[in-house]
Amino acid sequence: MWARIVQWLAVPDNQLVVAVFVSLLAGLYTGRWLDRRSRNLTKPIIPKGDKALFKGIQYILSNDHDQAIEELTKSVQINSETIETYVALANLYRSKGAIDRAIRIRQSIILRPNIDERIKLGVLFDLGLDYRKAGFLDRAIDTFHEVAKKDPSDVKTLEQIERIHEELKDWESAYQTRRRIAKLTGGDHKHILAHHLVEMGKVHQEKGELLKAVSLYNKAISTHKTCVDAYLHLGDLYFTRKEYKRAVSTWKRIVQVAPRFTFLAYRRLEGAYSAMKNLKPVGDFLKACAESSGDAFTYMALARYLYNENDVEGALEQVESALKLAPAFWEARRFKGEILLRHHREKEALLDYEDLISHLNVPFLKFRCEQCGYQSNELQWQCPQCRNWDTINLVDSADESAGASR
Ligand SMILES: [Zn+2]
């Protein structure tokens, strides 16, 4: 039977149940260990005669949460001392979305006299998770702070605190919390700290506190040299102040530090140079980028530039290069169609339409999270699903369409 359980536990779909099961077992073991410390050596892991608990565990394993709740409820009526059973019950209620019941059970556990401090902290942490899930962010953060106060080196709790600060857009507190996490765990946290600084900068910029914003963007860049978002916003800020040269040199640094994100600078460069009434440098810049990196976005930006300069053939050539790399790059498709129709090249437009149809079933997903697989049409620095920073990357559309047609 044990082999079957192990096999079952290995299936990823059963993760939630695993969590409840493991917490119950771990709790029961800890309970026995604590009993052992207090010289109560004879008490078995599952109390004798507690068939309901045994049945409850079996129902947890077969993913039948309703029956599991029923049996565990019976078990606590027989033996109201086993805190772990209450914890498992609360977890089951939470997994069913009955957060209020989960919260009430945990509150009653915490109020018990003589409860072991480790168990109490665990229950408090879970209570924080319940509050968060129920949307009571203030209560959640208070609860996590209570845990962190008693166990200041608990990274799991600090991560929860940081996440809520991020959700509340309290970037200063998120930043301070991340610094604490960095001190505890070591490793590289610079990219996260830089994002927090950029977000702080954005808030100041919105309030019109430009100097403060500039210094935060610069601090972000010195914290993490490849923080693309910092260059973008610093450049944008200079641009709104009509400091075009500064804006341009700031955006251009993206090409050096993170070439794969250069496309984010193109449109901005175009805007700045047209404000400066001199588009030639942007053309030179794009041509140099097309030669060195040569991704679909670069070709497309160069196509736009050439078309604005009335070089229709040159523009079509660049669009073709873009579509060769990424057949389902819709912006390029549309641009090509617009050029052909505007210049009355119906025959070519028709051929292009035929080619387009053959690619219609190709989903063009531009961005995907490396961590959790979340897919999006827009670039986000923080994944909305797994909340990791800088894990969302451009999907190579050529690979994507090749994969789809395979
Ligand atoms: Zn993700």
Ligand 1 center–CA 182 separation, angstroms: 21
Question: What does the alpha-carbon distance between residue 137 and residue 131 come to, in Å, rounded to a whole number?
Answer: 7
Run means of pLDDT, 10 residues per run, the chain, 406 residues: 46 51 60 47 54 81 83 79 84 89 91 87 94 94 96 96 96 98 95 98 96 98 96 95 89 85 80 76 81 81 87 93 85 90 88 79 73 88 93 68 35
Ligand 1 center–CA 374 separation, angstroms: 5
Token readout for 371 is 């961590």
Angle, CA 121 vertex, CA 117 and CA 127 arms, to 5°? 140
Ligand 1 center–CA 372 separation, angstroms: 4
Ligand 1 center–CA 389 separation, angstroms: 8
pTM of the model: 0.70
95, amino acid identity: S
Ligand 1 center–CA 376 separation, angstroms: 10
In the chain, count of helices (H) and strands (E)?
Answer: 21, 3
Three-state secondary structure call for residue 197: helix
Ligand 1 center–CA 294 separation, angstroms: 28
Smallest CA-to-CA distance from 94 within 122, 62, 129, 42 is with 129
Ligand 1 center–CA 96 separation, angstroms: 24
Ligand 1 center–CA 222 separation, angstroms: 26
Ligand 1 center–CA 343 separation, angstroms: 44
Question: What does the alpha-carbon distance between residue 340 and residue 208 come to, in Å, rounded to a whole number?
Answer: 45
* Contacting residues for 319 by C-beta, under 8 A, at least 6 apart: 299, 300, 303, 332, 335, 336, 339
Count of Cβ atoms closer than 10 Å to residue 224 Cβ: 21
User: What is the number of alpha carbons within 13 Å of residue 355 lying toward its C-beta?
Assistant: 18
Predicted pLDDT at 290: 83
Ligand 1 center–CA 92 separation, angstroms: 26
Token readout for 129 is 């998770």
Question: What does the alpha-carbon distance between residue 184 and residue 189 come to, in Å, rounded to a whole number?
Answer: 11
CB-CB contact of 239 with 271 (8 Å): yes
Ligand 1 center–CA 104 separation, angstroms: 32
Ligand 1 center–CA 385 separation, angstroms: 5
Give the C-alpha distances (Å, rounded to integers) separating 81 from 57, 75, 219, 237: 17, 10, 54, 62
Angle, CA 60 vertex, CA 57 and CA 61 arms, to 5°? 90
Token readout for 82 is 């086993």
- Backbone CA torsion sign across 208, 210, 211, 217: positive
399, amino acid identity: D
Ligand 1 center–CA 390 separation, angstroms: 9
Token readout for 278 is 């001199």
287, amino acid identity: K
Ligand 1 center–CA 192 separation, angstroms: 14
Ligand 1 center–CA 382 separation, angstroms: 8
Ligand 1 center–CA 1 separation, angstroms: 36
